[in-house]
């Protein structure tokens, strides 16, 4: 059956889902092709969003734009689908010293950090956590139940006949002057949101990806806290006595197989964070589609503007996908400029070199 669309989107991970949503809001006709696999980068992700990160606790790139946007974005979709997937409980980060506590007492009033700090705790919040100096309770932080979100959106798209189940096969794409054609679907553009499968993408595999494997554990434990604790590793309450813990970063191994080494590394960090015994009951691994310069890859192909890409979300898909999905839609639909830091034009020389 022939179908006309404005956009074909390949991949229904965080990137493809958020882009489809903002295009739908503009009344664009979208068809999404995705095999609905159980293990993808998005489905393995712990789903944390956190505006102040890293050992040095700095504000993440573009936090002031990304974080206010994401809460409304996911909340609207909860209303649309009737599902619950956004948890806004905040994140608690224990201090390692009195100096650090003092430093954050000062910073908490600053223009830069005020909106991201819910409370500076000067005393331990629980004897079960290793936080003798208290800790920082971050606002505009929490986690997205990514698999629940993607599942709810999958059902929403399917009910509107927007989904094609299965893998996109590259040599079946026909590119015309101003349109593309794929298995009976004619569209103005095709946008690749294929995440960690970038290597198989014959149009965009010249982009310099730096995949980073990560693993997460599910543990059973009497921690008795209902907030996320994060220092070295995060510990997210899932249900009574069940927590998700992670993650590690491995630049060398790009397999999707869980390893004993990662399990031992995460468990060791967890022992430094909590004061109660735990039992690991489940472990999973995934590969983050990270870019060379840690910025998303957004834009149209240098040789054919019917082909586009939205990828490179790396370690921060939950916070980057909503804002940059909208940013890409403004470019595609309204002709607005893309930020230089995310525009794939910064790597066009790699494409031209690959054609020599």
- List residues binding ligand FAD (CB under 6 A): 10-16, 33-35, 37, 40-42, 44-49, 167-168, 193-197, 214-216, 246-247, 286-289, 311, 313-319
Query: How many residues are recorded in the chain?
Result: 356
Q: How far is the CB of 132 from ligand FAD (least distance, A)?
A: 27
Task: Pick between residue 35 and residue 277 the one whose CB is nearest to ligand FAD.
Answer: 35
Task: Pick between residue 1 and residue 38 the one whose CB is nearest to ligand FAD.
Answer: 38
Q: How far is CA 148 from CA 23, 35, 143, in A?
A: 21, 17, 12
- Note whether 299 and 308 are within 8 A (CB): yes
How far is residue 13's CA from residue 98's CA, in Å, rounded to a whole number?
42
Task: Pick between residue 36 and residue 115 the one whose CB is nearest to ligand FAD.
Answer: 36
Q: How far is the CB of 279 from ligand FAD (least distance, A)?
A: 20
Tokens of 223: 């921690």
Residues 6 or more apart whose CB falls under 8 angstroms from that of 108 comprise: 114, 117, 120
Q: How far is the CB of 273 from ligand FAD (least distance, A)?
A: 16
Task: Pick between residue 94 and residue 142 the one whose CB is nearest to ligand FAD.
Answer: 142
Q: How far is the CB of 250 from ligand FAD (least distance, A)?
A: 10
At 29, is the secondary structure helix, strand, or coil?
Answer: coil
- Please give the biggest Cα pair distance in the chain: 68
Q: How far is the CB of 80 from ligand FAD (least distance, A)?
A: 19
DSSP state of 293: T
Task: Pick between residue 23 and residue 216 the one whose CB is nearest to ligand FAD.
Answer: 216
- Note whether 134 and 101 are within 8 A (CB): yes
Q: How many helices (H) and strands (E) does the chain have?
A: 8, 21
């Amino acid at each position: 059956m022939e179908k006309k669309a404005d956009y074909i989107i390949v991949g229904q991970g965080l990137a493809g889902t958020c882009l489809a949503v903002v295009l739908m809001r503009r009344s664009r006709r979208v068809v999404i092709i995705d095999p609905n696999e159980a293990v993808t980068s998005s489905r393995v992700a712990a789903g944390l969003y956190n505006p102040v990160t890293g050992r040095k606790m700095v504000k993440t790139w573009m936090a002031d734009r990304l974080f206010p946007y994401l809460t409304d974005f996911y909340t609207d979709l909860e209303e649309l689908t009737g599902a619950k997937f956004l948890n806004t409980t905040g994140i608690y980060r224990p201090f390692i010293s009195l100096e650090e506590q003092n430093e954050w007492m000062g910073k908490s009033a600053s223009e830069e950090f005020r909106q991201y700090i819910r409370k500076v705790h000067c005393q331990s919040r629980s004897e079960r956590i290793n936080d003798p100096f208290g800790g920082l309770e971050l606002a505009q932080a929490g986690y997205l139940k990514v698999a629940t979100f993607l599942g709810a959106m999958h059902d929403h798209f399917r009910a509107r006949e927007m989904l094609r189940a299965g893998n996109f096969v590259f040599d079946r794409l026909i590119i015309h002057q101003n349109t593309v054609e794929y298995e009976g679907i004619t569209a103005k553009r095709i946008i690749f949101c294929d995440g960690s499968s970038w290597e198989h993408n014959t149009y965009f595999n010249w982009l310099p990806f730096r995949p980073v494997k990560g693993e997460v554990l599910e543990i059973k434990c009497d921690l008795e806290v209902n907030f996320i604790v994060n220092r070295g590793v995060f510990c997210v309450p899932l249900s009574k006595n069940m927590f998700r813990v992670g993650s590690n970063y491995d630049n060398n191994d790009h397999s999707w197989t869980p390893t004993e080494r990662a399990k031992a590394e995460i468990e060791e960090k967890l022992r430094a964070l909590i004061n109660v015994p735990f039992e690991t009951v489940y472990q999973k691994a995934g590969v983050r589609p990270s870019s060379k310069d840690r910025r998303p890859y957004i834009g149209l192909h240098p040789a054919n503007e019917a082909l586009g890409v939205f990828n490179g979300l790396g370690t921060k898909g939950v916070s980057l996908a909503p804002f940059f999905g909208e940013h890409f839609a403004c470019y595609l639909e309204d002709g607005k400029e893309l930020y230089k830091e995310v525009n794939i034009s910064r790597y066009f020389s790699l494409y031209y070199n690959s054609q020599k």
